[in-house]
Amino acid sequence: MSVLAIDTSSRRRVVAVLAGRDGALQRAEVRGDAPVGVVLPRMVVELLHHDVEAVVVATGPGSYTGLRAGMAAALGAARGRAVPLHGIGSLEVVAAGWRADGVARGCVAVDAGRGFAHVAVCHAGPDGWRLDGAHRVAIDAAELRGAAVASTDDLPVPGVIAVDPAAALAAAVPRALGAPALTPRGLAAQYVE
C-alpha cells in the first residue's frame, strides 16, 4: 500500500508522489511546464492506479490558486478512495527533505513571489527539524543572510541549500500521517503574514 502526496504550493511546479508510510519515495511526478489545473488531474489519475491507503496534501503557505487546486484534488482522491486525508505545511515539507548534518539551527524557505519568501526558523532535534512559526520576509532580509537556508525553490539567496521537492514530499509523509486526519470542514490553506 502507498500514500498519495500532493504539493501544489509552489508558483513554479506541481509535485505528486507515491510514498510508503515510512517516507520512502516509490514514484514521483514533478511538472513545471504547465498550469496546475492542466497537469494535476493527469498526475493524480496516473498515481491512483496504485493501491492508496491515505492522501497527504501540502496546506501552505504558497500560491493561493495552487493550494486550492491541490486541496480540491486531494479531497476528491481521498473521498473517491474512502481513505483519510492528512495535511502538512509547505515549510515542513522542505524541512523533511533537508538532511543538515552538523547544523543545529537554520531556516527553511519557499518563494512567496515579488521578492519575498515564506520562512521558518528551525532547530535540529532527535526526530528532525522543529520549526518555529512561519512568516513572510523580503528575500534580501538579514534573517536569510549568513544562516543555513534550505528550499525546494531556486531562491536568490547566497548559499541556499537545494532540496529535491519530490524526495522532500515523500519524506514528509510519516509526519503528516502522525497528525489527525483532516475533515472537509478543516481543510484550509495556511496564511502567513
Confidence (pTM):
0.93
- CB-based contacts of 151, cutoff 8 Å, min separation 6: 94, 108, 109, 110, 111, 117, 157, 160, 161, 162, 163
Q: Can you give the residue range of the structural domain that contains 144?
A: 91-163
Q: Domain total for the chain?
A: 2
Do residue 42 and residue 128 come from a single domain? no
Shared domain check, 122 and 149: yes
CATH of the domain at 17: 3.30.420.40
Is the Cβ–Cβ distance between 107 and 101 less than 8 Å?
Answer: no
pLDDT at 186: 60
Please, are residues 144 and 116 in contact by the beta-carbon 8 Å criterion?
Answer: no
Q: Are residues 13 and 84 in the same domain?
A: yes
Write the pLDDT tens digit of every residue in 34-67: 999 999 999 999 999 889 999 999 999 999 999 9
Clarify whether residues 44 and 131 are in a common domain: no
